[in-house]
Amino acid sequence: MATPSPATQLARFIANYSPAVATLARTVLRKMRARLPGAVELVYDNYNALVVCFGPSERASEAIFSIALYPRWVTIFFLHGAGLPDPGKLLKGSGKVVRHVVLDSAAVLDTPAMRALMTAALARAATPIDPTRRGRLVIQSVSA
């Protein structure tokens, strides 16, 4: 039997979540893809969350954002979010590097405050995402 495509695998992973979380995740991923043409999406099906990282390459260390699906919510992580200007006080977390925003709606991604955060994160990325190249979806790990 042939291995399913990465898109099919991701769709199956998302289908394991509640309808509300799955619908929100699909909408968030669609918006992220539109905002980040050329991004490489790295998918990690972990035991506690499904994570889709967005970055310029298949190197996880270069990822700029990640979307994590949990049983009851969806979160966007700014993987180098500490120190980002955040006048809207959206970012949560106290670690040395990562910050996050729990998404109660995909519309949060379209707010001026969130767009400004994303723009700042992209501007600070060590390796930028090349919008002229075709984006790719890569399944990195699948938990049993």
Question: The tokens of 80 are what?
Answer: 């180098």
pLDDT at 141: 82
pLDDT at 78: 97
Alpha carbons 119 and 101: distance in angstroms, whole number: 15
- Listed in sequence order, the residues at least 6 apart from 3 whose beta carbon sits closer than 8 Å to its beta carbon are none
Give me the pLDDT at residue 28, please.
98
What was the pLDDT predicted at 3? 85
pLDDT at residue 144, rounded to an integer: 65
E strands, the chain, in order: 40-45, 50-55, 65-69, 74-78, 99-103, 136-142
pLDDT tens by residue, the chain, 144 residues? 688 999 999 999 999 999 999 999 999 999 999 999 999 999 999 888 999 999 999 999 999 999 999 999 999 999 999 999 999 999 999 999 999 999 999 999 999 999 999 999 999 999 999 999 999 999 998 776
Measured CA to CA, the distance from residue 32 to residue 13 in angstroms comes to: 18
What whole-number distance in Å separates Cα of residue 144 and Cα of residue 140? 13
Q: Are 62 and 38 in contact (CB under 8 A)?
A: no
The model's pTM: 0.95
